[in-house]
Chains A and B, each alone.
Chain A
Amino acid sequence: MKKQELEKVAGNGLINRRHLLGLGLGGAGMAVANTVLGQDLQIPDWSKAPGANASAYGSRSPHAENMMRMAGNPNPIYPGGGASRSPLQHLQGTITPNALHFERHHAGIPDIDPAQHKLVINGLVRQPLVFSYEDLLRYPMVSKIYFLECSGNSGAVLRQRDPDPNGTAQSLHGLVSCAEWTGIPLSTLLDEAGVLPEANWVAAVGADAASMGRSVPIGKAMDDSMVALFQNGEPVMPGQGYPMRLFNPGWEGNTSVKWLTQLKLTNESPHFRDETSKYTDTLPDRSSLKFTFPMGTKSLITSPSGQMSLNQRGIYRVTGIAWSGSGSIRRVEVSADGGRTWADALIDSHQSEKSLTRFSIPWEWDGGDAVLQSRATDSLGNVQPTRDSIIAEKGLITTYHNHCIQSWGVNSAGEVRNVYA
């Protein structure tokens, strides 16, 4: 395809998404090559001797080991508390490998023997019940692809009055991941115990040292919540709640209680620490929002993104992820001029509800300054807001539930940096 045939659809080099296939853009960036390879190709050594044997449990290529979670340092006065962030800028598609799924723990990862673990359902039920892991494995299960996002994700973008020049997709936004979760619809288990009419809430408690609790309205519990036993086909990782976790699709991650051991039906919420002192949003008028459950409509360009560099002028594949806690992603737009003009990106993955969706669009970098942004719209018509509008609406006292547009600045040297625009 000749360059002059490329249809520009927005300012500063954005190209019609329909050209993506014709351009054959496979990597982060590609200039149109017009010189012949300077050497003859040879058969490589690894094609001349038998390789390693099959293994009991696979490991990735040593050449791909730069894909690591980013974890904070241990804090002696908060033993086991902390988070690790997914390397979003290195991932493609929509599924996060289990070993790279983000983590947030409040008292470390318990070492649970599934044969000793119990799941109790009590409170406002006809018959309190206790289930073993073996019991639960015999129940009908469903498999769904869902994202999970910590409600503190992207908070630094609000907290830092000046943009962190070292910020990356991972360091700023890595508390979101996506997996296929397999488990038992929560409604199935609650029906076994028989929910009484006065039960309005399900209080869920984990078996970690914090016995962390969150409460979920009965409407959600009977809708799409599940007790997840498997993550991308294998038992949920210890850091994700082995042997079982609650999973509330689309809702702030903290509600999806890990190491789930109790579900208590109550009339009023117990108002646990993590739904009063924490995960609440104090507004400029000093009132505070509690039980803010669905995560906002959001997207993020993962390539090019912070700390990457563009080595030559030419055509690049701009790509990223989008998600909504309330529905599916209907549209993602991309801007290369800081939000002045926008072009529709190609959705090049599934668009299922409450999951990550992948988008991309070709862009020709002319060697000048650019500000790359993406803006998602979900199936309910919710549009991702700007940083300024979030701050105008919610202030800066707290920074949970931030879903603002991320800006990546590109300078004439090709350096990509976190900026506010």
Chain B
Amino acid sequence: MSTLKKYLMMATIASTAYLHLTVNSQESVGLGTPVTEDQLSEFDLIAGPDGDGFPAGSGTARQGKAVYDARCAACHALTGEGVSGNTIIVGGDMNSEGTPLRTVGSYWPYASTVFDFVRRAMPADAPKSLSNEEVYQVVAYVLYLNGIVGEDEVLNAETLPNIEMPNADGFIDQSHLL
């Protein structure tokens, strides 16, 4: 056991040891357990626009209709037109008069976000209950309802992140403003 680790254990009973420990905090404490990315393959659900994190599997809109109708339509309606404001997932035009309807089709900049969100958070009453195959299928169907992909277009880890969304260029990055 390193000297620092001994200080850590002492810190719970001796405040002077705690002060010493803070001074030395740039040293590694080393209490994390190493883990491999393979061991995280079921745990890590992040799928980004760069294509990183997409699992094996594929799906088409034609396959996705049955899953959508059974698992999504109760809130989003069979057409995707929803049952309240936040559940509308089709239609809209960012350049329309008045307040634009902002949906997956009109607003979301990346198709990857649809996959990432559906896999981690939908359906709202039973998140993470869809298989990866079903997520690909449902995402294909939602994009098909928005006229973004064809009914038999195959979405997978290669094709899905490359889908161009209508509002992809509609955002201004503010992250440099601190």
Contacts and interface: CB of A to CB of B under 8 A. Distances in A.
Interface in B51-105: 52-53, 74-75, 83-84, 86-87, 94-95, 99-100, 102, 104
B109 A276 contact: yes
B35 A289 contact: no
A282 interface: yes
B2 to A, nearest CB: 13
Contacts of B26: 191
B131 interface: no
Contacts of B94: 282, 286
Interface in B36-52: 36-37, 40, 43-50, 52
Contact of A192 (B30, B74, B86): B30
Interface string B13-51: 000001001100110111111111100100111111110
Interface stretch (B115-123, B133-141, B142-150, B151-159): B115-123
Interface in A280-336: 280, 282, 286-294, 326
A232 interface: no
Contacts of B32: 121, 129-131, 135, 189, 192-193
A326 B110 CA distance: 30
B89 to A, nearest CB: 10
A122 B37 contact: yes
A272 B117 contact: yes
Contacts of B99: 396-397
Contacts of A188: 25, 29
A384 interface: no
Interface stretch (A3-11, A30-38, A213-221): A213-221
Where chain B touches its partner, the secondary structure class is: loop
Given A138-B9, A293-B174, A122 B52 contact: no
A107 B124 contact: yes
Contact of B127 (A129, A210, A220, A294): A210
A388 interface: no
B116 A270 contact: yes
Contacts of A135: 31-33
A386 interface: no
Interface in A250-292: 262, 264, 266-273, 276-277, 280, 282, 286-292
How many B residues touch the partner, as a band?
A: 35 or more
A191 B121 CA distance: 30
Given A213-B120, A268-B49, A282-B100, A79 B125 contact: yes
Contacts of B52: 266
Contacts of B75: 77
Given A131-B32, A140-B22, A213 B46 contact: yes
Contact of A267 (B25, B47, B50): B50
A368 B87 CA distance: 48
A289 B170 CA distance: 9
A128 interface: yes
A211 interface: yes
B113 interface: yes
Interface of B: 8-9, 11, 18, 21-22, 25-26, 28-37, 40, 43-50, 52-53, 74-75, 83-84, 86-87, 94-95, 99-100, 102, 104, 107-110, 112-113, 116-117, 120-121, 124-125, 127-128, 167, 170-175, 177-178
10 contacts: A128-B40, A135-B31, A136-B31, A138-B31, A140-B29, A262-B43, A266-B46, A290-B173, A290-B174, A293-B178
Q: Which 9 A-B pairs have the closest CB atoms?
A: A129-B32, A291-B175, A270-B48, A211-B120, A273-B117, A135-B31, A210-B121, A77-B75, A130-B35
Given A77-B74, A277-B107, 17 more contacts: A78-B124, A107-B127, A128-B35, A129-B35, A138-B9, A140-B25, A205-B46, A211-B120, A269-B175, A270-B48, A271-B49, A272-B116, A276-B109, A288-B167, A288-B171, A290-B175, A397-B100
Interface of A: 77-79, 81, 106-107, 120-122, 127-132, 135-136, 138-140, 185, 188-189, 191-193, 203, 205, 209-213, 217, 219-220, 262, 264, 266-273, 276-277, 280, 282, 286-294, 326, 396-397
